[in-house]
Amino acid sequence: MGDAFDILMVTHAELSKGYFSAMELILDINEEDMETVSFEAGEALDTFSEKLAEIIEKKYKDRKIIILLDLPGGTPANMALPFLSASRKLIAGINLPFVLELMIAKKNGTSWEELDLENMIENAKSSMVFYNRFLKTEEIL
């Protein structure tokens, strides 16, 4: 059996906590399944960077980890990029279907080596649905 992995979600404000609450409701997860870090309004960049370093470099030092980020190019993503390594995979622009699929894989015992993040990202990209497209044109007008 391969290595297990941890999940850390780093977002602006309370977004990561919102994702966590949704995952608690959908999958009955707890703090051992996913940790969250928030970049708060007015927080100094060096303070936030130190907070990330404390968690990533100490708590997850010798562990495999997926770091989920809300916005490509945003402060949480930019501050997490220096921690990129072979044992740390960073994914920005996440959505709830992606987080759900990743958490199901974790809960089902999928190993780090078996994890197919590329496929999960493709699934997440195609999970958005514009329901109005299914209406007849005259119903929309």
Domain ranges of the chain: 6-140
- Cα distance between residue 29 and residue 19, in whole Å: 11
> Residue 141 pLDDT > 80, yes or no?
no
- Cα distance between residue 38 and residue 134, in whole Å: 37
User: In whole angstroms, how far apart are CA 95 and each of 9, 69, 73, 86, 100?
Assistant: 11, 10, 16, 23, 9
- Write out pLDDT tens, residues 11-67: 999 999 999 999 999 999 999 999 999 999 999 999 999 999 999 999 999 999 999
- Cα distance between residue 75 and residue 41, in whole Å: 11
Sign of CA dihedral 27, 30, 36, 38: positive
- CATH number for the domain whose boundaries are 6-140: 3.40.50.510
* Average pLDDT, rounded, for the chain: 95
Give the pLDDT band (50/70/90) at residue 139.
low
